[in-house]
Amino acid sequence: MSTATLYLERLSALLQQAVREDAARHGLLPIHIQVLQYLVQANQYSDLPIAIADYFGITRGTVSQTLAVLERKALIVKQADARHGKRIHLKLTPAGMAVLQDSWAERMQRALDMQPDGAALAGTLRDILVALQRLNGQHAFGICRQCAHFRTDGGTTHCGLTGEALATEQTGKICREWATPA
Ligand code: SF4
């Protein structure tokens, strides 16, 4: 095992421990915290139950149970899609957002902000992630404005895959349709 692999293994173990502690503080399971964290970052094509199953590699039944708990605790709400029939989007409530305050993600961000070149580090981590997802045969999720389908023609941003306009706040979110730029 190389030193870099060892560091990544250690970081992964620390993150898992932090998620468990965050969950226990709120009387939740780690998957509940992870799904809340996912939903706050997911774009309009990805805040769906099927995308959660893909992202975490879990069954639709597990997703349904997880969402039922989060809904019962009033941490998420379901919103019908105005244009796509039966599609349901999942949104965090203010109580759901409050659960994520001072979470492992915020502590990690503070650690990253101490690094001299955060952009280069993020690029390296993204490349490692994409390579590992390919090796494992997993669906790649990535940030919208770094996607092969992202378009900025005529001063507007839109998705080249769906043809739909993208609001600025959506372009920093993650998407299940993301594709590696050529
Ligand atoms: S540009 Fe890519 S990441 Fe953004 S919405 Fe389209 S498919 Fe998803």
On whether both 60 and 132 belong to a single domain, the answer is no
pLDDT digits (tens, 9 = 90+) for 78-136: 999 888 878 899 999 999 999 999 888 888 889 999 999 888 998 898 888 888 888 88
pLDDT digits (tens, 9 = 90+) for 23-80: 999 999 999 999 999 999 999 999 999 999 999 989 999 999 999 999 999 999 999 9
Give strand ranges (E) for the chain.
76-80, 88-92, 142-143, 150-151, 158-159, 174-175
What atom in ligand 1 is closest to the CA of residue 148? Answer: 2
On whether both 77 and 65 belong to a single domain, the answer is yes
On whether both 47 and 98 belong to a single domain, the answer is yes
On whether both 48 and 94 belong to a single domain, the answer is yes
The CB of 145 under 6 Å from ligand 1? The reply is no
Quick check: helix, strand or coil at residue 175? Answer: strand
Distances in Å between the Cα of 18 and the Cα atoms of 15, 25, 148 are 5, 11, 33
Number of structural domains (the chain) is 2
**Residue 33 amino acid letter:** I
What atom in ligand 1 is closest to the CA of residue 44? Answer: 5
CA 65 / ligand 1 centre spacing (Å): 28
Domain at 20, CATH number: 1.10.10.10
pLDDT digits (tens, 9 = 90+) for 129-158: 888 888 888 777 889 999 999 999 878 899
On whether both 89 and 170 belong to a single domain, the answer is no
Nearest Cα neighbor of 44 from 158, 180, 182 is 158
Q: Which domain holds residue 146?
A: 118-182
pTM: 0.88
On whether both 55 and 140 belong to a single domain, the answer is no
